[in-house]
Amino acid sequence: MKIAVFPGSFDPITVGHVDLVERALPLFDKVVVAIGINSQKQYLFSLEQRMEWLNAVFEHEEKVKVDSFKRLTAHYCKSIGAKFLLRGLRNASDFDYEKTISQLNNNIGDGLETIFLIAQPGYSHISSTIVREIIKGGGNTTNFLPPQVKLDHLNFDKFELS
Ligand code: ADP
């Protein structure tokens, strides 16, 4: 069984992430979209909220499983029998960053291979970072987020708008 893990923060999940997963589905038997929990990192949305959105987005996608993990990505992959990582490349800086991580994961993950998909032109400008900035600035994120990611119920005061 060909299993790929798509690791990320998904803070929040964007249409760019969804596009990547959909394009990867024909390549694998199962794609595990997994939130890596890094205790050093500050997130805008709670793990529970991010997981809830992932579950809602992929609810009807039988080949997709949603999960979270605290260990090294390579060790998590081994524990679930995944031999592939899925990552997206939007530009040259993604490449520089991803290249090192991919080589590291291949080394410590006993041949774990990272499969890269190049972002579609219409999505390559979309990042969770940009979306978080728009949210904090009170802007409209409709074009960047899947319909299942609803922000209406959130209290934007907590983002310390000024
Ligand atoms: P991380 O915190 O690990 O960077 P992200 O949630 O920001 O996690 O991104 C996870 C993966 O999704 C990365 O491989 C990133 O390159 C990819 N990705 C993010 N946005 C897009 C996009 N618009 N198109 C294609 N891939 C994307």
Give pLDDT tens digits for 63-114.
Answer: 999 999 999 999 999 999 999 999 999 999 999 999 999 999 999 999 999 9
Comparing C-alpha atoms, which of 4, 1, 3 is closest to residue 88? 4
Q: What is the CATH number of domain 3-158?
A: 3.40.50.620
Q: Which of 78, 90, 124, 132 is catalytic?
A: 90
Beta-bridge partners for 8: 35
Ligand 1 binding pocket mutation candidate from 10, 13, 17 (most atoms within 8 A of CB): 17
Token pair listed for 16: 């760019």
Calculate the alpha carbon distances from 23 to 27, 28, 114, 127, 161 in Å.
8, 10, 15, 18, 37
Ligand 1 binding pocket mutation candidate from 21, 50, 127 (most atoms within 8 A of CB): 127
Statement: the pTM of the whole predicted model exceeds 0.75: yes
Q: What is the CA radius of gyration of the chain?
A: 16
Q: Where are the domains of the chain?
A: 3-158
Give the other-Cβ count within 10 Å of 92's Cβ.
8
